[in-house]
Amino acid sequence: MEGATKGEDSVDQSSQRFAEALVRERVETRLAAAGASEASRGAAIRAMLHASLLGIDSHGVRLTEHYCRMLDGGRLNKNPQLRFEHRGAGSAMVDGDDGLGHYAAYHAVEVGMALAREAGVGAVGIRRSSHLGAAGAYALAGAEEGFVTFATTNTDAMVALHTGAQKFHGTNPLAFAAPVPNARPWLLDMATSSIPLNRVLLHRSLDQELPEGVAATPDGFPTTDPHAADLLLPLGGVDYGYKGAGLAGVATLFSSLLTGTTLDPDFIPMYGGTDISTPRNMGHFVLVIDPDKFAGSAVFGAAITTYLAGLRASTTRPGGKVMAPGDREWATLAERQTNGIPLDPDTVRFLDL
């Protein structure tokens, strides 16, 4: 399959399932009780439901408990006042005011689209933010409005370099989305590690073994035991991990170096630390491109339609099936809107379902 996204982060299909509206209501109740402002919690719910409905469960509503704890502890500003500053014809910086990262990121997409309508491109850095969630949520937000959109973030170090035995990069996702006429957007959302940390935590909750070659013990030896896993391996695994390690550096370049925020090894850990009151000063980056300012929207629309038709019709080996980036996610969305969202036991407990 070309362009696999985070469908592999889904919870076991035998998990309990709940209707989207009920899950949304319970998440809203929890975040409101924790004091999150209406605007910031609305953005968080939008991003988490995006993840839970598209099968990216590691970044979905299971994070509600973590966000509530950070709001209670003071790490997250309950009522952030977003600000942005134009830095050039097609560039800007957004200040997230230490609130929920989803709020700052969606705002950055809005700023980027406004810039792109004038300049053709809108490059927006974000500073003083927090955990981003699924980067694809923000790329998709731009694509749904007709823009080619890229979103990324760096995160706290938990991934070894190729042949390394030290946490250096974060899982550092790269997400891209593009509009497709009369169809769902083309969507690629991938971690630059073999798996995200939240998948390890999800497997611990479910007491399920990890796949081979995605995680290692503290001394660098590969393991499938989620309870023993400490290091994540870069995309490409043991033999080709230099590719994932290099791509992780791309996320750091855009999200930290260009925005003047925190490097991967310098973050206060998202999990496991005793300090839940100090903001983490996370940086993110969004790039929004208006196809109309290049070949033109009509030309682009015809071209991507032709490209995707050829991709999906390409020859496969026996039993194979070629899918475009996003195809798996849109199928999962349709299935979960019909049959409900599967949730792990810890999330069911916290949401009182």
**What is the DSSP secondary-structure string of 29-68?**
HHHHHTT--HHHHHHHHHHHHHHHHHT-GGGSGGGHHHHH
Q: How confident is the model at residue 195 (pLDDT cuts 50, 70, 90)?
A: confident
Any domain includes 74: yes
Tally of domains within the chain: 1
Any domain includes 319: no
Contact indicator for 167, 231 with CB cutoff of 8 Å? yes
Any domain includes 1: no
Give the CATH number, domain containing residue 255. 3.30.1370.60
Q: Is the pLDDT score of 100 beyond 80?
A: yes
Determine the average pLDDT of the residues in 77-97.
Answer: 98
Any domain includes 132: yes
Any domain includes 322: no
Any domain includes 325: no
Determine the average pLDDT of the residues in 303-320.
Answer: 97
Per the prediction, the chain carries an average pLDDT of: 94
Contact indicator for 210, 225 with CB cutoff of 8 Å? yes
Q: Is the pLDDT score of 123 beyond 70?
A: yes
Characterize the bridge pairing of strands 91-95 and 121-129. Answer: parallel
Any domain includes 259: yes
Q: Note the pLDDT of residue 11.
A: 63
Q: What is the length of the chain?
A: 353
pTM here is 0.92
Q: Note the pLDDT of residue 223.
A: 92
Any domain includes 269: yes
**What is the DSSP secondary-structure string of 216-285?**
E-TTS-B---TTT--EEPBTTHHHHHHHHHHHHHHHHIIIIITTT---GGGSPPSSS-S--SS---EEEE
Q: Is the pLDDT score of 162 beyond 80?
A: yes
By mean pLDDT, which of 42-46, 215-219, 260-264 is the weakest?
A: 215-219
**For residue 80, what are the domain limits?**
6-299+330-351
Q: Note the pLDDT of residue 14.
A: 58
